[in-house]
Structure 1
């Protein structure tokens, strides 16, 4: 006796039926807000005729940079050393290779939330000997509630748009069938930022007079969210 073949589940119908017509809409949100943090890159350099003198100078200058940044206390949320190098520079003349000098670099990244302190710190760093400053890069924190607000606004916009379609047909929404991020398989971050300050550099001795703090205008951040939504609605009378 053979057992009856098991019934395979039917695939979901991507469209509605006369008894349960569907509405497919997209909800979008675009928020423009002030940044929450700013990052700057600091590159400290040193040169010497021998490895030890280059390393000693680099150690001294790096310590001065770190002490200066740390002196701003809670205004600095993060301070990290990202790269260190000591490189010999060879002579270009002669048959044999000779080391002419050594070049050392340390790259430091600082993240600040106080933008008033940022302008002052950036100016003081640029005044230091053989120190380069890049940035700032304005951003939002990864866990900023702004991202949640944008997603919720996109959902509300999708519901409102679907209701307007249903009202145009003289009916109402019945149920939510599907809600998904746009491009959920290959999602991109919601936050899109651009722009930076031109790099500044100081390659002489430390200035005797303190330069006036830079007046940095925070760049607006643009946060986007998109969702696709499908609803069923009560069959309209056409």
Structure 2
């Protein structure tokens, strides 16, 4: 007799196991606290003038000074990127209408460093420049850091150990791994630029006083410890325990 495929039912699964193969579900977790590998700072250069071209030229000059200073630190600086740029007029009331009072320019850059001793010196020197704002540092691990792998592996070992302890409490042992679900391993989110914990901030100086030719001492920056988390769900089958008293 032919069987109608539409009425054929697949075998039912047993998500909770069977008496012959009891299923055990556990969660493995890991939390590592480690030193950061990189630090980022944000630099915003400002310029202003009554003429658009003069403001733009001044902004270009100040930006070049900043970039040249950053590049003098060589391999201590892993990456430099220029972000937002703007130049806009400042309007003021003039009779019944408006007129342009001045032009304001701004360009933003980020620098990523691996040498934290150089970081303190560079941050101070940048903050000492006129019309320059420095923000940060924001500490982090690299996205491909082996610390992430270490946390994931530790979470798996924790899941296996926890499952074994449950099985031993029943007087039996694990038979097979049924499922391992990775719930992710990542840095704990923190407030601040790019999700990195924030630090110092230097205000922009617009003063017209004579420049101070003495260099400010380097900042003593303490790297912020990074927290790395990993969580997995694991399901095992056990050999049937003897539950008789």
TM-score range, shorter chain: over 0.9
Give the SS at the match of 1:190: strand
Instruction: Tell me how far apart the structure 1 counterparts of residues 73 and 17 of structure 2 sit (CA, whole Å).
Output: 61
Instruction: Tell me how far apart the structure 2 counterparts of residues 44 and 130 of structure 1 sit (CA, whole Å).
Output: 6
Unaligned runs of 5+ in 2: 191-196
Instruction: Tell me how far apart the structure 1 counterparts of residues 90 and 139 of structure 2 sit (CA, whole Å).
Output: 36
Instruction: Tell me how far apart the structure 1 counterparts of residues 94 and 120 of structure 2 sit (CA, whole Å).
Output: 45
The 1:206–1:118 alpha-carbon spacing in structure 2 relative to 1, beyond 3 Å, is: farther
Residue 11 of structure 1, CA deviation = 4.4
Unaligned runs of 5+ in 1: none
Instruction: Tell me how far apart the structure 2 counterparts of residues 73 and 198 of structure 1 sit (CA, whole Å).
Output: 23
8 A Cα contact 1:40 1:110, kept in partner? yes
The 1:13–1:92 alpha-carbon spacing in structure 2 relative to 1, beyond 3 Å, is: farther
Count residues with an aligned counterpart.
232
8 A Cα contact 1:139 1:193, kept in partner? no
Match of 1:207 in 2: 212
Greater mean alpha carbon deviation, residues 155-164 or residues 84-93: 84-93
Within a 5 Å distance, the mapping from 1:71-82 to structure 2 comes to 71-82=72-83
Within a 5 Å distance, the mapping from 1:10-159 to structure 2 comes to 10-159=11-160
Residue 197 of structure 1, CA deviation = 1.1
1:227 matched to 2:232: yes
Give the SS at the match of 1:35: coil
Match of 1:191 in 2: 187
The 1:108–1:206 alpha-carbon spacing in structure 2 relative to 1, beyond 3 Å, is: farther
Give the SS at the match of 1:91: strand
Residue 192 of structure 1, CA deviation = 1.5
Residue 95 of structure 1, CA deviation = 1.2
User: RMSD value over aligned CA atoms?
Assistant: 1.4
1:214-233 Cα shifts (integer Å, max 9, x gaps): 00000000000000000001
Match of 2:194 in 1: none
The 1:85–1:11 alpha-carbon spacing in structure 2 relative to 1, beyond 3 Å, is: farther
1:160-198 Cα shifts (integer Å, max 9, x gaps): 00000001111010000000023xxxx6x6111533113
